[in-house]
Amino acid sequence: MPRLFQRTILAAALSLTALAAPFACTAAPSAAAAALPPVEDFFSTPEFSSPTLSPSGRYLAARLGGKGQRDRLAVLDLKDNSAKVVAQFNNADISNITWVNEERIVFDSTDRTVAQRDVTAGPGLYAVNRDGSGYKALVNRNIAYDHPSAAAKLVPSSVALLLQRGPQDSEYVYVTSPQYSAGGVDHVDLLRLNTLTGKASQVSRPGPAHAWLLDFKGQARVALTVERDQAAIHYLDPATDKWRQLTAFPAYAGTGGFMPVGLGPDGTLYVSARAGQDKTSLYSYDIASGKLSAKPLVTVADYDFTGGLIMDKDKLLGVRYSADATDTVWLDPAMKAMQAQIDALMPHTTNLVTLPRRPETPVVLVTAYSDAQPASYYLYDREKNKLDRVGSSHPKIDAGAMGKQAVVRYAARDGLQIPALLTLPPGRNKNLPLVVLVHGGPYVHGSSWGWNPQTQFLATRGYAVLQPDYRGTTGLGEAHFRAGWKQWGLKMQDDVADAAKWAIAQGIADGKRICIAGASYGGYAALMGLVNDGDLFQCGINWAGVTDIPLMYTARGKWNIRPDLSDDWKQYGMPLLVGDPDKDADQLKATSPLQQAARIKRPLLMAYGGADHRVTLEHGTRMRDALQAAGHPAEWVLYPDEGHGWALPQTQVDFWNRVAQFLDRHIGAQAHGK
């Protein structure tokens, strides 16, 4: 396949224009900063993304973007190298894409020009043939009109595409439809939707289902139910066509039972389970006997198994998993050999192979990435052992100008081993200004090895960035998770401080130039870092951060915005993992940044979204006012239209410019004359 192929794609796609707001920058760069990679290059929307092969492998669908243009859906014929934009809007962007069958594609939409407050439409759902014909709207986008339309016969706006590939051999897809009660999502219905007629039928459910899994033939086969503080896995038995429970376990404790991963072509159920061990592994599960296989199929050193199955029409070929990075273990010798050939052609990247559903061509899709290189996409011809690049998510990023990233481990003060990601600025590794970047959640897995716009932006500005997976982080075993229960502001916070102390001891960080930063829980940790360790951290950056744990139970924002924390989470999850507002009242007061505001003496940058439904604006304004009253006001930024995190590229650019200027004043060159 000729190298001209990439230019053919882009020429065909980018010849069509649409309306979009230009990116904005709040300050003109200095002469010194002009040589640095522009902030816009890090936080722009991808120019090429979501490539997906048709079931036969002959066609490639992808989303194409670019500055000043709406994201469009293009289809590429890999036989004759022709490309065509088959769907685009002048008031929305193409979002998720999947093939229905060899001829038809289904997709939804978003609007990258509006933030949370201005969202007036749902994602919608649309179908189109690969040649651009047969376009049909399947879902009502009007969120104010959330019931079936008698005229258009469209299903409600609240549905979302079930992002499971399925058999791709009919005209149907599945969509999920959350059903709400006063306390949050009561359950999630599953609908089978005809992409030609728009007619939908509801799949029977075993109770308050919250997640669904299709079998290899595209039938709904497994469902997860959650009721109060109990979760259960149910199986739709093909012999009886009735649901039966396979296992049950506590919904928030993260222990017991198993979690389904996928069903193989022969109906085998594969699950993630602890089986008496600290960390989960991938097992096969005998549905008839209710037993796990004697030995795990895949175990990942130092991590819980998290991943998915790679199959052809006959068997399980391999497993995609997440550890330090996302990678693949192949069970099929031919696939293992093909991976080795691809890796020999691209030895400096991690190369993830995606197969078409029913391959009739020798072509597979390869996603290549590294710590310094954003995702780039290639087509690999197995017969010719040849790679051709078809696009890159961020082509303006020069990998040679990025920092290097490594997984490190350090001992917390009580001896617990804590993994962390360390990103170093290009060409430097000693006596550096350091940003300790704390992930949100907190009960999620932190960042994985790979190009990250936030860390690489900071690295190119001369900062080392350390991202600890403090206790309570999931994916690192049950003991690591449980060690974080009710440890907000306590041992979880100690782990973060110990990360900075480790970096100083290693000679990586200058002990007088360390800043703590983060969003959501990470913003809480940044504030508590200044409360507990003001002698260690010279400054802090908090965006969208929790400022008071009791406020999470009671907060209502402006216009009576209700936080999107469910009543079940607040009744069963938070008292177990975070703290009971009554029984643990003294501890929650001592670990409340808001109630300890007078102890914060270091410079602080705070930013909040006015339409945040997760951590309401009240968290930010109360903290701002408390710091003002204590005589140590913070730098305050309000993005009135943004939610929990920044949706708009121009907001990202503005915020990270502010971050760079703040760091420069307090731990960077401006502060220390370096």
Question: pLDDT digit string (tens) for 359-390?
Answer: 999 999 999 999 999 999 999 999 999 999 99
* pLDDT for position 142: 67
Confidence of residue 672 (pLDDT cuts 50, 70, 90): confident
State the DSSP code for 279: S
Q: Are 200 and 192 in contact (CB under 8 A)?
A: yes
Of 132-146, 250-264, 628-642, where does the model show the most confidence?
Answer: 628-642
Q: What is the mean pLDDT of the chain?
A: 89
Amino acid (one-letter) located at 567: D
Q: Does 7 score more than 80 pLDDT?
A: no
Q: Which residue has the higher pLDDT, 39 or 159?
A: 39
Reported pTM: 0.90
Q: Are 499 and 418 in contact (CB under 8 A)?
A: yes
Going from the C-alpha of 269 to that of each of 168, 237, 409, 569, 636, the distances in angstroms are 20, 12, 35, 29, 51
Tell me the per-residue pLDDT of 489-541, one tens digit each, with 9 for 90 and over.
999 999 999 999 999 999 999 999 999 999 999 999 999 999 999 999 999 99
pLDDT, mean of residues 228-249: 94
* pLDDT for position 123: 83
Q: Does 345 score more than 70 pLDDT?
A: yes
Handedness of CA 333, 336, 342, 345 (dihedral sign): negative
- The closest of 498, 474, 520 to 614, measured between CA atoms, is 520
Q: Are 158 and 146 in contact (CB under 8 A)?
A: yes
Q: How many CA atoms lie within 13 A of 228 on its CB side?
A: 0
What is the per-residue DSSP string for 71-101?
-EEEEEETTTTEEEEEE--SS-EEEEEEESS
Other CB atoms within 10 A of residue 225 CB? 22
HEC-encoded secondary structure of 94-116: EEEEEECCCCEEEEEEECCCCCH
* pLDDT for position 256: 75
- Torsion (CA) 592, 597, 601, 606 in degrees, nearest 10: 80
Q: Does 5 score more than 60 pLDDT?
A: no
Query: Which region among 133-142, 330-339, 373-382 has the lowest average model confidence (pLDDT)?
Result: 133-142
Strand order in the sheet with 200-202: 160-161, 172-181, 184-194, 200-202
Domain boundaries, the chain: 204-330, 402-643
Q: Are 405 and 393 in contact (CB under 8 A)?
A: no
C-alpha 535: how far from its chain's center? 34
Q: Are 514 and 672 in contact (CB under 8 A)?
A: no
- Where on the phi/psi map is residue 81: left (φ > 0), alpha (ψ -120 to 50), or beta? left
State the DSSP code for 614: S
Handedness of CA 77, 81, 82, 88 (dihedral sign): positive
**What superfamily in CATH does domain 402-643 come from?**
Alpha/Beta hydrolase fold, catalytic domain (3.40.50.1820)
State the DSSP code for 597: G
* pLDDT for position 26: 34
Other CB atoms within 10 A of residue 486 CB? 18
Instruction: In whole angstroms, give the CA distance from residue 505 to residue 483.
Output: 25
pLDDT, mean of residues 57-81: 93
Q: Are 546 and 523 in contact (CB under 8 A)?
A: yes
Instruction: In whole angstroms, give the CA distance from residue 226 to residue 222.
Output: 14
* pLDDT for position 555: 66
Q: Strand 48-53 and strand 59-64: pairing?
A: antiparallel
Instruction: In whole angstroms, give the CA distance from residue 108 to residue 563.
Output: 26
- The closest of 512, 563, 507, 565 to 539, measured between CA atoms, is 512
Query: Can you read off the two tokens belonging to residue 560?
Result: 């009576």
Q: Does 243 score more than 90 pLDDT?
A: yes
Tell me the per-residue pLDDT of 302-322, one tens digit each, with 9 for 90 and over.
999 999 999 998 899 999 999
Q: Does domain 204-330 have CATH number 1.20.1250.20?
A: no
Task: Specify the 3-state DSSP secondary structure of 374.
Answer: coil
Q: Which residue has the higher pLDDT, 641 or 124?
A: 641
Going from the C-alpha of 476 to that of each of 303, 436, 446, 480, 500, the distances in angstroms are 5, 20, 10, 6, 21
* pLDDT for position 143: 58
Q: Are 621 and 592 in contact (CB under 8 A)?
A: no
Task: Specify the 3-state DSSP secondary structure of 555.
Answer: coil
Other CB atoms within 10 A of residue 312 CB? 15
Instruction: In whole angstroms, give the CA distance from residue 71 to residue 65.
Output: 4
* pLDDT for position 148: 45
Percentage with pLDDT > 90 across the chain = 80
